[in-house]
Amino acid sequence: MKSSEFDKDLEVTPFITSLTEKTASGGLNWEPTAQADTFIASLAGSTLRIRLEEGAGVDMYDNPTDAPVLYILDEKGKTLWQIYHTHPKGGLWGLYRLVQRIANKVDDRMASLMEALQKL
């Protein structure tokens, strides 16, 4: 790569868009971790970890808030890259909520709850 290629920020929006699409279609197997706000998936020898981080975002009054951060880890668990909520166009909330829903099997749980409610 030429040095001029490193003069600008890495554009992560296409990656996040593709990741969201593949997640929605079931192409990635996201799993919960021991931390309730953290989820992981494996892809091409790397581990993807998305989690809520304290102070990673700001509200409309510039107060720190929790926001999703996506980590790309190597096979030993070393962080290679972090993608913060503000980096991709549209942020990471859509991906995070989708991953949370899939990893926690929310659709199945909701169906079970609806079935139980109908029996009451």
Domain positions in the chain are: 3-119
Q: 38, 51 in Cβ contact below 8 A?
A: yes
Phi, psi of 4 (to 5 degrees): -65, -25
Phi, psi of 59 (to 5 degrees): -90, -175
83 forms bridges with which residues in the sheet?
Answer: 70
Give the model's pLDDT for residue 11. 86
Q: What is the pLDDT along the chain (120 residues), one digit of tens a residue?
A: 555 566 677 789 999 999 999 999 999 999 999 999 999 999 999 999 999 988 767 767 777 778 899 999 999 999 999 998 878 888 899 999 999 999 999 999 999 999 999 999
Transcribe 25-36 into DSSP letters: TT-S--EE-SST
DSSP state of 92: S
What is d(CA 33, CA 50) in angstroms, rounded to the nearest whole number? Answer: 10
